Chain A
Amino acid sequence: MSARFTRRDLFRSVPGGIAGAALASLLAAESRAEAPAPFTDLKPRKPHFPAKARAVVHLFQNGGPSQMDLFDPKPELDKHHGQSYADKLAGEIEFVQSAGAIMRSPFKFAKHGRCGASVSDAMPHLATVVDEIAFIRSMHTTSITHEPAVYMIQSGKITPGRPTVGAWVTYGLGSENQNLPAYVVLDDPKGLPVNGVENWQAGFLPPQFQGTRFRSTGSPVLNLKPDAERPAAVAQAERDLLSQLDLMHKRDRPDQPALDARIASYELAARMQLAATDALDISKEPQRVQEMYGIGRGPTDSYGRRCLIARRLIERGVRFVQLYINSHIWDTHNNIATELKAACDRTDQPTAALLRDLKQRGLLDSTLVIWGGEFGRLPIAQLPADKDERKAGRDHNKNAFCTWMAGGGVKPGLTYGATDELGLKAVEDRVSVRDWHATILHLLGMNHEQLFIEQHGLKEKLTGVEEAHVVKGVLA
């Protein structure tokens, strides 16, 4: 806080009373005047302070990736394997009836890269790029249920209706490309994540900051191509006719900015049909690049396409690209050995390829890549109805999960924070979801306290009313 005595200070120190009413109304009037008009356009805007990262790729891993099977080895699990522990977790388990004993990881860990970060053998490709990555092992959240936890990680609160991180970032920074949406969502053609389209909503921010879905196969945007094909000459003749009609309409109605905006929106739509088509045309990429992303091969094809498209969008100045996989593939309640492996098989190679590709093109310095889900998993087994331990999985855990960041402004080759000996709870350098959000904004040159919009008299922020701290330890 600056040494200047701010209005808020004054307010804190005057709780009403004697001059209360008058003063409060004065302050309210001032707070109105003080609040800048909200941004409503996508023009590029300067951050609050200079920063390296200018764009974000958010690799959202819905379902809760298991930290102790991927990035956070726990030898104590091997030691205590089979011991009962469930009673200590009452109220923290979604499926109480199927809670089993402490369970070791079916995966083998090794240290990788110059930094020696631990990655399990479920992710052999990511293991080759750990020197670019900062792992945060000490994340924690507030809910063990997918929906509220996903609302939390995407928008800072466990209830629906608030703007998501991508909406806030594009609200704060605008866009570098006026032919493409500023916030692009690449969801899986196989299906939406938990909470569906609410994952990229603008909430109470103006609607243009909402994410726009690009499909990675076929037509990338809903209605981008006509449902019924029209000959090119007909389409052109219709566009000409429409623009003449609109110009005549506008001519009779001077000084109506809404009509200019409308004509502009039709023009952008036409440009987008071209620009989006070009950005999404990965056939323009050399064969070896496509192979690096695993495109054309069974499990990696779909996610590989999205990762490659993400790079092409970032190259074109899109501010925030968010990737999804259908449903919540990381939600490994059963058969963790095979299910978790299957999730990795679909995403590991494309993810590593994206980091390597961005690096090779000199884009990683200005791009923040974030990876993670909505919570973590428990150290104990979750058993199927027949109690067969070979089919065991892990239940949700809100007290510890692991995410990672790489690129613009992030300290590479870092492992930050720690969980307890079983991986149940974050204990060292704990990072809340709010802290994580504040850090993302900071890496983009924004102060989470200064990025707000006035809503019903409140300054609404991504990080809400409770304290949030930038995690200094992960900054380069």
Chain B
Amino acid sequence: MRCTHLPLCALSLLVCGAALAADPPAPSFQKDVRPLLEAKCVRCHGEKVKKADLDLGTLVGVLKGGESGPAVVAGKPDKSPLYEKVHKGEMPPAKKDALTAAEVETLRKWIADGAKMPAGSVGGGITQHDVIPIMLRHCTACHGRHKQEAGLDLRTPAAMLRGGKSGPAIVAGQPAESLVVQRVSAGAMPPPKRLVEACVKPVEKSELETLTKWIAAGAPVVDVQPDVATTTPDTLVTDKDRDFWAFRPPQPVKVPAVRDASRVRNPIDAFVLAKLEAKGLTFSPEADRVTLLRRAYFDLTGLPPEPAEVKAFLEDTSPNAYEKLIDRLLASPRYGERWARYWLDLAGYADSEGKREQDLPRPHAWRYRDYVIRSFNADKPYDRFLMEQLAGDELADYRGAKEITPELYDNLVATGFLRMTPDATWANITGFVPDRIEVMADQIDVLGSAVLGLTMKCARCHSHKFDPIPHRDYYRLVAVFKGALDEYDWLKPEIRPGIGPESVDVAPPRLLSFVTAAERKAWEAQKTAGGKAPEPKIQAMWDRGEPSPTYIYRRGDYLMPGALVGPGVPSVLTDGKTPFEIRPPWPGAKQTGRRLAFAKWVTRPDHPLTARVMVNRLWRHHFGTGIVPTLANFGRTGVPPTHPELLDWLAREFQDPTPQPPPPRGEGEKNPRDPITGKDAREATPTFTPLPSGKGAGGLGSSPWSLKRLHKLIMTSTTYRQSSAINPDAKKLDPANALYSRAPLVRLDAEALYDSLLFVAGKLDETRGGPADAVQVRKDGLVTPAGTAKGWRRLVYVQQTRKQPATHAETFDFPQMNPNCIERRDSTVAPQALHLMNNGMVEQLAGEFAKRVRRDAGGYPARQVEAVYVLALSRAPTAEEKKLGVEALERLADAWEKQLTGEGVRDAAERKALATYCHAVMNSAAFLYVD
């Protein structure tokens, strides 16, 4: 113990000395301690306010302690927070409440003397809720929902009294006569030899004591309702807490007036320009058309344009050529492959379980990957997309359905969202309750970071230190998922004979043989024909209708269950008095409907975070930083938005789009007219310049929650269309581009680079979907995609295990999914240069690229250089570049020629020189960076 308050410490030593001399009787709780607590503590730690879940107003409350564990450890003042906090002066917080040295000493002595309570009160606090968790931890694997060995169910006091074949498990008031006490104290139960098999730990002495005391007290059952939000105002989260910008729904905002309205194409520009003008800046000039074309291609599809597409775009002189381009790109199936990847990062997608050495494959995970790609391509409204992933099993009666339709299939596959985190609970030794809780914590973390933009995980062990998220709210959220994710009734990832011995818990694995009727039929047909393809399954999450009770785990420790809580959502995101309403998803449903209620809440139009978090993420991928730079933390420790009004405007526009206007107007038109008033749109306050109706090509309507519409809105803005060149004013006044005075210069990420190398080399196999492509692991650890007959598929389709990611991906900052990745970091390190310069696959692709160039340009160096530029960089070389290229080809051919022998040496050398030249271009900054 350290002494931070010397005078106080000295004083208490003095008091101690005096005490030793006089040796007065130890303080009594009723007479000495209780009045003290009532005077100084219960204002905040009482029945009404109960901060940190601590009630010092009652005997039971003092014995129970708070969210961080017991307040008092009998006989050990140094280990008792009640004494420690008071002694160190940390509590009470207000100076006027400070305890006198004598009062502190009273506390110390009372605890040192064993923290004695009035007779009869000890044990009086023990209820069924102290005992049920013990049963869940040690007994219900064999005496519970799935199995009632010896006819015994130990989940509820009633069932304990009823007992099993050998009679009642408990006899109220008579611990010695109670079978459960007899068996446990004899060490017979749980059977020591079956502990690991059942993923159960032995009963601790203190647990047996609790059980004994409860029975001795007559096995009292108290009627405690789970703590849920009620109409009574919430005491733990105040209206002041709710007043933080991110916890208020997005506000209607007025589009600001700007000086140079000619640069405003849509309200985004007005918001951005207003800030620039305030700094004496304005937008950078518009990027040239080729630059814009490449930027749009990489942003939306992750691939460069084909030369023919470049040509067509440059020749299209219609005023809406650029809008049409965006529509085309959004309609391309490559769009989904590009944008699904960002979502897969958030979900923590991988084709393996992780955590254990074997890193077992997840052979069915790809179905979730394909679902995400499909959803992005279909422009599934974001609210629906979330609903399916959070509660797809509660959207429609999938079990009762006559036929598994593609829609039902998607509903269930979508729930794989919270099944993607690392998980080793398939093995007994790593499948104990705490291991399961870790998996659940990861899943809540994914939910919080991906969907809510909140650091929920802090509240797992204690109330959030910075955001108004009480410990309680975390466990309310846990309760929402309890129907599917239940640490006491666990669905294992998969029963794997020979690897993970089958558990005594007979719960099925979390794989469902649930695929569309068509796929099922096809599989059955091939099986009948002697085919050996494994049964198609999905990795899903589903409500089983009988969740175990949810207790707050004090300090996050499952051995310290606290208050019983019911399902609910973070109070600060609600008005604090509307109960969280849960209904069965349909009449007679077995499901609890908890997650459905949650999903409905998340997608409410007035939800403060859902839309903001998603538009911010989309913005990040188009501009390099988020309007809120901390993508997964909109709370108090996050970085506040640089453009709060813009964020809110986008969020509202995302959910509730401005109605579709009449036919499009061209960007080239000098004086855009307001479609409704017919006035010059540049006059007065800028209004929203309408989007062309995108029905058709891009499938863009004005449907709410449309991501494609949001892309188009962003990409047709002046803000997006700026050049990335830095002008001197911007360099001085907006060095970090926080005001968006230019477009960012962006390095291709792992996927875009890999896919582009294949694409330019003409070796991209565009077969979509299906099981992941294997990788080859070389002895030195180099991991390379195995490829297909036609070349290689896009990186999103390459097997991605947690322990052996493809070397290319790992080198270019492909993240480790532990459990997920919110934002990739772009590094610029030497191994990237080594990879592109020396790797065999890159070398091979350069050779393929050269062959392609040669087919187009024959053996003429100048034409070859032109073809290389057009194919790789979408433009013709400058005179300088052409000269450099031709000379380099000559020099390289000379160098190669010296190494070669035999006939046709010069021709062979020229071919090799071209391959080397292509290799250099594939390594060049011009290839890797998008302006």
**Which A residues lie at the B interface, using CB under 8 A?**
1, 11-17, 20-21, 24-25, 27-28, 31-32, 87, 90-91, 93-94, 96-97, 144-148, 159-161, 181, 187, 189, 192, 194-198, 201, 203, 206-208, 212-213, 215, 218-219, 221-228, 230-231, 233-234, 236-238, 241-242, 244-246, 248-250, 253-256, 258-259, 261-266, 268-269, 272-273, 456-458
- Tell me the complex Cα distance, A358–B193, Å: 50
> 18 other contacts beyond A32-B637, A456-B455, with CB at 8 A cut-off?
A15-B44, A147-B424, A148-B430, A160-B354, A192-B781, A196-B803, A226-B843, A233-B895, A233-B898, A234-B899, A237-B895, A246-B924, A248-B880, A248-B881, A262-B828, A263-B925, A266-B833, A272-B834
- Tell me the complex Cα distance, A261–B829, Å: 8
Smallest CB separation, A93 vs chain B (Å):
8
- Tell me the complex Cα distance, A347–B891, Å: 51
Q: Does B438 contact A (CB under 8 A)?
A: yes
- Tell me the complex Cα distance, A80–B438, Å: 39
Q: Is the CB of B899 within 8 A of A231?
A: yes
24 residue pairs bridging A and B, Cβ less than 8 Å apart: A15-B51, A20-B238, A90-B202, A93-B196, A144-B429, A145-B429, A192-B781, A197-B810, A207-B827, A208-B827, A212-B831, A221-B831, A222-B782, A224-B838, A230-B916, A233-B898, A237-B895, A241-B888, A246-B924, A255-B726, A256-B726, A265-B832, A457-B638, A458-B458
Q: Is the CB of A17 within 8 A of B834?
A: no
Closest to A230 in B: B916
Q: Chain A residues near B916: list those with CB within 8 A.
A: 230, 234, 237-238
- Tell me the complex Cα distance, A36–B450, Å: 27
Q: Which candidate, B101-109, B217-225, B522-530, B811-819, is the interface stretch facing chain A?
A: B811-819
Q: What does DSSP make chain B's interface, helix, strand, loop or mixed?
A: loop
Considering only residues 518-565 of chain B, those with a C-beta below 8 Å from chain A are: none
Smallest CB separation, A101 vs chain B (Å):
16
- Known pairs A13-B90, A222-B780; A231 contacts B919 (CB<8 A): no
Smallest CB separation, A219 vs chain B (Å):
7
Q: Is the CB of B881 within 8 A of A456?
A: no
Q: Does B896 contact A (CB under 8 A)?
A: yes
- Known pairs A161-B818, A213-B781; A244 contacts B884 (CB<8 A): yes
Q: Is the CB of A227 within 8 A of B839?
A: yes
From B828, B896, B923, A231 is in contact (CB under 8 Å) with: B896
- Tell me the complex Cα distance, A244–B920, Å: 10
- Known pairs A222-B807, A457-B637; A206 contacts B840 (CB<8 A): no
- Known pairs A148-B430, A457-B637; A237 contacts B832 (CB<8 A): no
Q: Which 3 A-B pairs have CB atoms at the shortest separation, nearest pair first? A: A457-B637, A161-B818, A227-B840
Smallest CB separation, A189 vs chain B (Å):
7
Q: Is the CB of B782 within 8 A of A17?
A: no
Smallest CB separation, A410 vs chain B (Å):
26
Q: Chain B residues near A250: list those with CB within 8 A.
A: 925
- Tell me the complex Cα distance, A225–B780, Å: 12
Closest to B913 in A: A234
Q: Which candidate, B157-165, B477-485, B608-616, B628-636, is the interface stretch facing chain A?
A: B628-636
Q: Is the CB of A96 within 8 A of B920?
A: no
Smallest CB separation, A385 vs chain B (Å):
14
Q: Is the CB of B929 within 8 A of A258?
A: yes
Q: Is the CB of B438 within 8 A of A159?
A: yes
Smallest CB separation, B609 vs chain A (Å):
15
Smallest CB separation, A169 vs chain B (Å):
18
Q: Is the CB of B884 within 8 A of A241?
A: yes
From A1, A27, A227, B843 is in contact (CB under 8 Å) with: A227
Q: Chain B residues near A147: list those with CB within 8 A.
A: 355-357, 424, 430
From B638, B829, B920, A207 is in contact (CB under 8 Å) with: B829
Q: Which of A181, A215, A248 has the most chain B CB within a 10 Å cutoff?
A: A248
Q: Is the CB of B816 within 8 A of A201?
A: yes
Q: Chain B residues near A245: list those with CB within 8 A.
A: 881, 884, 920-921, 924-926
Smallest CB separation, A162 vs chain B (Å):
8
Q: Is the CB of A258 within 8 A of B828?
A: yes
Q: Is the CB of A269 within 8 A of B830?
A: yes
Q: Chain A residues near B44: list those with CB within 8 A.
A: 15, 17
Q: Does B804 contact A (CB under 8 A)?
A: yes
- Tell me the complex Cα distance, A214–B211, Å: 57
- Tell me the complex Cα distance, A91–B190, Å: 11
- Tell me the complex Cα distance, A203–B821, Å: 11
Q: Chain B residues near A181: list those with CB within 8 A.
A: 830
Considering only residues 902-931 of chain B, those with a C-beta below 8 Å from chain A are: 912, 916-917, 919-921, 923-926, 928-929, 931
Q: Chain B residues near A159: list those with CB within 8 A.
A: 438, 818
- Tell me the complex Cα distance, A212–B807, Å: 13
Q: Chain A residues near B898: list those with CB within 8 A.
A: 231, 233
Q: Does B465 contact A (CB under 8 A)?
A: yes
- Tell me the complex Cα distance, A269–B811, Å: 13
Q: Is the CB of A222 within 8 A of B781?
A: yes
Q: Chain B residues near A24: list those with CB within 8 A.
A: 466, 636
Q: Is the CB of A25 within 8 A of B244?
A: yes
Q: Chain A residues near B917: list those with CB within 8 A.
A: 241
- Tell me the complex Cα distance, A246–B884, Å: 12
Q: Chain B residues near A258: list those with CB within 8 A.
A: 745, 747, 828, 929
Q: Is the CB of B919 within 8 A of A238?
A: yes
Q: Is the CB of A237 within 8 A of B238?
A: no
Q: Chain B residues near A262: list those with CB within 8 A.
A: 747, 828, 925, 928-929
Q: Chain A residues near B359: list those with CB within 8 A.
A: 196
Q: Does B422 contact A (CB under 8 A)?
A: yes
- Known pairs A28-B637, A206-B825, A228-B840; A194 contacts B357 (CB<8 A): yes
Q: Is the CB of B832 within 8 A of A160?
A: no
Closest to A29 in B: B636
Closest to A465 in B: B461
- Tell me the complex Cα distance, A32–B638, Å: 9
Q: Is the CB of A249 within 8 A of B90?
A: no
From A25, A244, A246, A255, B636 is in contact (CB under 8 Å) with: A25
Q: Using an 8 Å CB-CB cutoff, how does the interface string of B875-898 with A read, 1 for contact, 0 for none?
A: 000001100100010011001101
Q: Is the CB of B837 within 8 A of A226?
A: yes
Q: Is the CB of A198 within 8 A of B816?
A: yes
Q: Using an 8 Å CB-CB cutoff, how does the interface string of B181-217 with A read, 1 for contact, 0 for none?
A: 0000001000011011000011000000000000000
- Tell me the complex Cα distance, A385–B52, Å: 52
Q: Does B397 contact A (CB under 8 A)?
A: no
Smallest CB separation, B431 vs chain A (Å):
10
Q: Chain B residues near A215: list those with CB within 8 A.
A: 780-781
Q: Is the CB of A15 within 8 A of B93?
A: yes
Smallest CB separation, B909 vs chain A (Å):
10
Smallest CB separation, B894 vs chain A (Å):
8
Q: Is the CB of B187 within 8 A of A87?
A: yes
Q: Does B582 contact A (CB under 8 A)?
A: no
- Tell me the complex Cα distance, A230–B843, Å: 11
- Known pairs A28-B637, A222-B782, A262-B925; A238 contacts B192 (CB<8 A): no
Considering only residues 778-832 of chain B, those with a C-beta below 8 Å from chain A are: 779-782, 803-804, 807, 810, 813, 816, 818-819, 825, 827-832
- Tell me the complex Cα distance, A250–B636, Å: 40
Q: Does B2 contact A (CB under 8 A)?
A: yes
Q: Does B575 contact A (CB under 8 A)?
A: no
- Tell me the complex Cα distance, A14–B92, Å: 9
Q: Is the CB of B925 within 8 A of A225?
A: no
Closest to A97 in B: B193
Smallest CB separation, A303 vs chain B (Å):
18
Q: Chain B residues near A241: list those with CB within 8 A.
A: 884, 888, 892, 917, 920
From B2, B240, B635, B637, A21 is in contact (CB under 8 Å) with: B240
Smallest CB separation, B66 vs chain A (Å):
11
Q: Does B89 contact A (CB under 8 A)?
A: yes
Q: Does B835 contact A (CB under 8 A)?
A: yes
Q: Does B731 contact A (CB under 8 A)?
A: yes
Q: Does B733 contact A (CB under 8 A)?
A: no
- Known pairs A25-B636, A223-B831; A196 contacts B804 (CB<8 A): yes
Q: Is the CB of A238 within 8 A of B892?
A: yes
From A221, A231, A268, A456, B637 is in contact (CB under 8 Å) with: A456
Q: Is the CB of B816 within 8 A of A161?
A: yes
